[in-house]
Amino acid sequence: MPGLHPRAEQLQMLLLKEEFSVTQLIQAGTLDSSVGAFLWAMMARRASVIVAAGPRLIGKSTMLHALTSFLPKDSQFVTAIGQHETFDFAKTADASKSYILVSEISDHTPHYVAGPGVDRLFHLLESGYRMGATVHADSPEEVVQTIKQYSVDVPGPVIAKGIDLIVTLYAEETASGIKRRVRSVYYVWREPKAPQEVGVRSLVSWQADRDAFTLFHSPEAWLQMADHLRCDVANLKKEMESRKRFLEGLIARGVLDYGQVLEAIRRFNS
């Protein structure tokens, strides 16, 4: 990854233990190329993302790592080192390029961010920083509850402004091994839309009976996402189709190694 902050040397140990690429995840059925294309369009604009699932070892960190390959190549990665994080990097870091990686928001181990650090993290997001984090939760409502549980007093509107996407995961044991799927992808409204002061729109859902993904189709959703990405609907559809074909081409050519996929995505973006 480019632009690693010196403190991010712990990144492999704390977060990115397995370098699965997005093409490997598509090949495994965890998501499909259309969902990948949408997530790419969002991450290319430095979307803040929470990857959530209730059970442990379901693949939250693996998914988060794969999604970081979609970020702009000039992104400067900083890893939040845990409950004793001081966020002193904010004194010198460029907020417009910095992407904060949080292995987990909880107090389960000292390596995870909890307490005042959660409040500080979300207030940094108000000033232009973006982040990728994992949370033990099965729904957007539980994500918000978990963030509030492990913070001191981070307000709902601040949470809403700090998160763009919530990706929830599903896994089950099968005869051939563990089947992992993106259960849903939610867009988080920037303005309060619910009693918890955080509202979401479901954009991607997994249909278990067909083992297939449904991407948003309503004109209103397309308009909302185009507005968020600062483009028009026609160009957004064209961009996503181009990214979809590119990902499918990588898979067809057997480009699965994380490093090779990362370089291919950078070339595509340049």
pLDDT in tens, 30-65: 999 999 999 999 999 999 999 999 878 789 999 999
| CATH number of the domain encompassing residue 55 | 3.40.50.300
- Tell me the pLDDT tens digit for each residue of 190-222: 766 665 677 899 999 999 999 999 999 899 999
Flag whether 190 is in a domain: yes
**Which pLDDT belongs to residue 196?**
61
Give the number of domains in the chain: 1
| Domain assignment present for 269 | no
**Mean pLDDT for the chain overall:** 90
pLDDT tens track for 87-100: 999 999 999 999 99
If phi > 0 it is left, if psi is from -120 to 50 it is alpha, else beta; for residue 57 that is: left
Q: Which residues pair with 174 in a beta bridge?
A: 177
- Is the pTM for the entire model greater than 0.85? yes
Residue 9 pLDDT class (50, 70, 90 cuts): very low
Residue 197 lies in a domain: yes
Q: Is 117 exposed, middle or buried (0-12, 13-18, 19+ CB in 10 A)?
A: buried
Mean pLDDT calculated for residue range 142-156: 94
Domain assignment present for 47: yes
Domain annotation covers residue 267: no
Containing domain of residue 51, as a range? 6-262
DSSP code per residue over 190-212:
SS--STTS--EEEEEEEETTTTE
Cβ-proximal residues to 140 (8 Å cutoff; 6+ apart), any chain: 166, 168, 186, 188, 198, 200
